[in-house]
Structure 1
């Protein structure tokens, strides 16, 4: 499974976990049962994304909330919330992934899973996060 596929599956898992309050293990078992392709799949990046996002969710939600203009985490579309959490995890905890890659992947995920307004919204929130992070690194 390549990184794009892993991110797509991660959004689906984070969405499922958010909606059902299932554990990461239960969500993964459901995914593996559903996705019964015969080839061996490397799920290490997928697991890292999902487990890391869930483990750091309170911190991630607090950071995202700072950039939501007129919105709260609870008011966000469920899929947009999952995409933002995943991208924020990458930005905050996976320094080996360039911010530009994370932003691009999040916008592509929003195009795939979100509404017509999702890509612009996701890009705006994450770009604001990235700009402030860059300013913090310059000091």
Structure 2
């Protein structure tokens, strides 16, 4: 599984977890329907395990928005991207931003991409 596909499946899994009472393992099995990829699992489990810290950081970056008011796709993409920015230093900052915008184009709309890019651009490059 390529990293782009892993990120797409991660968004689907995190979205599933946000809208149902599934466990992480159930959601992974539901989305992958077979053996899963280690990068994909790292993204899903890392985002879920660090969700409280991720949400705290996001709240600081959002202007005139609460996390609860965000559309689910934007919130989900922001959580994944924030996880990668904070906990996955081997992925360059620019790649995380580009991938987040592409995920918004796939699952949301152009406005989603612009909004997510604006929020993520507030993170300092490391």
TM-score of the two chains, using structure 1 as the length reference: 0.86
The 5 Å alignment of 1:87-106 reads 87-106=81-100
- The ranges of structure 1 where at least 4 consecutive aligned residues each deviate by more than 3 angstroms after the TM superposition are none
Q: CA offset at residue 31 of structure 1?
A: 1.3
- Per-residue deviation, residues 76-97 of structure 1 (Å, max 9, x unmatched): 1101111000000000000111
Give me the whole-angstrom Cα distance separating, in 2, the residues matched to 1:29 and 1:94: 23
| Equivalent residue in structure 2 for 1:74, among 68, 78, 83 | 68
TM-score of the two chains, using structure 2 as the length reference: 0.94
2:20 paired with 1:20: yes
Contact 2:9/2:32 (<8 A) preserved? no
Gaps of 5+ in 1: none
Contact 2:43/2:80 (<8 A) preserved? yes
Secondary structure of the 1:128 match is coil
Q: CA offset at residue 114 of structure 1?
A: 1.1
The 5 Å alignment of 1:59-138 reads 59-129=53-123, 131=124, 134=125
Give me the whole-angstrom Cα distance separating, in 1, the residues matched to 2:41 and 2:120: 22
Gaps of 5+ in 2: none
